[in-house]
Structure 1
Amino acid sequence: MNEQPFFLRDGDAFLPQASGRGPWNPQSLHGRVVIGLMGHALETAFGSDDFIPARLTVDMYRLPNFDPIEVKTTLIREGGRIRMAEAELFSGGKSSAKASCQFLRRTENAPGATWSPKPWDAPHPDSIPDPDPSTAPMGRMWAVKPIKGGFGAEGERQIWMKEVRELVGGVPLTPFQRVAVAADFASPFAHASSDQGLGYINTDVTVYLHRLPESEWIGFRSVNHQATDGVAVGECWLYDAAGSIGFASCAALAQKRPPR
């Protein structure tokens, strides 16, 4: 990766870089880098090989600006099979987001045959030509390979996404952090309309993982969008080149638009 990272480390602070600028306000950060940084902090503080980060929930209630960021982590419970941790993100000294993460101990699957959806039949990302970067959603924020439908298309949408930069400068992305920084894409991929574009800003993201990705490419399959009175919920199933890894869901608010 030779692109500008989203953050540089300065002691206990994370310094936001221009690459993390969000789409709603040029003076604020993108939600995906907030989620990614929370995942980074929680995994760094509490991750281990014998536990999988099975659920990450991030609530975003204030758009962070480009002031130095501090993330405070807390261990809630350390048990034999479950480790529960929380994190709070401060931007310029103001609380902007909170996260919780369940780390579950790896063991053997329970016996018996249990129904699950059929594997998706998406082509391997290596078999799809690289698209023109100028036509990718939100410019060069991601590397993407559309599979079916595309951003804002009618019907089911499927796409491969790969991160093109480090989250924190000089720190290689782990498989979990790769999912965390990508997970926010579930909102635009599920909520964008075919005729008006994206009209919802998500206020949270929850990622459920039954395993960590084995490849750099993360597959998104939009499976649900529902909205009433300006409140929307959406969900995408997540994949890697070997198959299902989990899903991401989000709540969102209809974004206020400037008067014409």
Structure 2
Amino acid sequence: MSDDAGPDALFTVLDEGRVRATELARGPWDPRALHGGPVAALAARGLERALASHAGPDDPAFRPVRLTVELERPVGLDPLTVAAEVTRPGRSVRTAELTLHDEAGRRLARATLVAIRVRPEPLDLTGAVLPDDPTPPPPTGTAAPTWVTGGGPAFHSHAVRHSFVAGSFMDLGPSTDWIRLRVPVVAGEEPSPLQRVAAAADFGNGVSAAVAHDSHTFINPDLTVTLVRDAVGESIGIAATTRVDPAGVGSTETALWDERGRIGLAVQTLVVEPR
């Protein structure tokens, strides 16, 4: 449940294939448009459901390994149509694709999820050379101050809890933040590990700003997440760094963590503009 009175989820299901966002899904740039995190989490939900519906009773387990979301138009608070299908029903690799449309039929976003078969017997990695990825300090018990925007409740300030261990919304430069959803993506459903990661990963550019929020916008038209395993626990750690070129193009790279260690990487491209 949310810490404040109001909606108890990011989205409400209207009927099969249609949802409506609540105020808790709104973004910081425009109170009429959603944050990318809820859109990515909604896409993850739809893609996972498509893959699950395709699986047969004797199929092996498949693990989501790459989620790509392209945010083509602002996604608002009006009803949304979510359509997903399996486009590659492979034996070792499966792919599902999803589109998000508004009531006028305009495509607002599209997404792809790649899943890889989990081996029934673990690999012998005795001789493997693997990187040493020290886990960031654990999340603190105190919620961090958030980027204050007008227009009421928003995703970054009311639907998630931030626990920074380096940097902050108010500081420029790289930062490390543990992020926990306060509400589910859809009412009555426990968020999956992929949904939690998708919701957190889209914060990379916001928490590691290279230019000030009050002088520039740096909106990401996409998000790509790659994972080597499912996240464990409710908190997702992100260690983000943003780079910006004078041409107005930027990029954010975000290392992803859970309570057990490194789980993957997220990348966002950025359109950087003066206000």
State the TM-score, normalizing by the size of structure 1. 0.88
Offset of residue 97 of structure 1: 0.4
Q: Which segments of 5 or more consecutive residues in structure 2 lack a partner in the other structure?
A: 148-155
Alpha-carbon distance between aligned partners in 2 of 1:183 and 1:38, rounded to the nearest angstrom: 13
Correspondences of 1:22-33 after superposition (within 5 Å): 22-33=27-38
CA distance in 1, matches of 2:263, 2:173: 22
Name which of 8, 11, 19 aligns with 2:12.
8
| SS of 1:139 mapped into structure 2 | helix
Q: Does 1:144 align with 2:162?
A: yes
**Is the 1:57–1:204 contact (alpha carbons within 8 Å) kept by the matching residues of 2?**
yes
2:153 aligns with none
- The 5 A counterparts of 1:56-75 are 56-75=67-86
Q: Which moved more, 1:150-159 or 1:5-14?
A: 150-159
Report the alpha carbon displacement of residue 256 of structure 1 after superposing the two structures with TM: 5.1
Residue 202 of structure 2 aligns to a residue whose secondary structure is helix
Match of 1:167 among 176, 185, 188: 185
Alignment match of 1:113 (pick from 108, 111, 128): 128
RMSD: 2.1
- What do the CA deviations read for 1:101-152 (whole angstroms, capped 9, x no partner)? 1011112347442242x32342223xx23136xx234422320111112235
1:19 aligns to 2:32 (yes or no): no
Count of equivalent residues: 252
8 A Cα contact 1:188 1:198, kept in partner: no
Counterpart CA distance in 1 for 2:215 and 2:261 is 29
Distance 2:14 2:71 in 1: 23
User: Does the C-alpha gap of structure 1 residues 100 and 110 become closer, same or farther in structure 2, counting only changes over 3 Å?
Assistant: farther
Unmatched runs of 5 consecutive residues or more in structure 1: none
Residue 17 of structure 1: how far off its partner (Å): 1.0
Q: Matched residues, percent identical? A: 30
Confirm whether residue 123 of structure 1 aligns to residue 137 of structure 2: yes
Looking at structure 1, the residues matched to 214 and 124 of structure 2 have their Cα atoms a distance apart, in angstroms, of 46
Secondary structure (helix, strand or coil) at the match of 2:113 reads strand
How much does 1:85 deviate? 0.9
Query: For the residues of structure 2 that align with 1:169 and 1:154, how far apart are their CA atoms?
Result: 35
User: 2:237 maps to which residue?
Assistant: 219
CA contact (8 A) 1:8 1:169 kept: yes
Residue 45 of structure 1 deviates from its aligned partner by 1.6
Q: TM-score, normalised by structure 2?
A: 0.84
Alignment check: 8 A CA contact 2:21 2:77 kept: yes
Q: 1:69 to 1:155 in 2, by over 3 A?
A: closer
SS at match of 1:255: strand
Deviation at 1:219, TM superposition (A): 0.4
Amino acid at match of 1:11: D
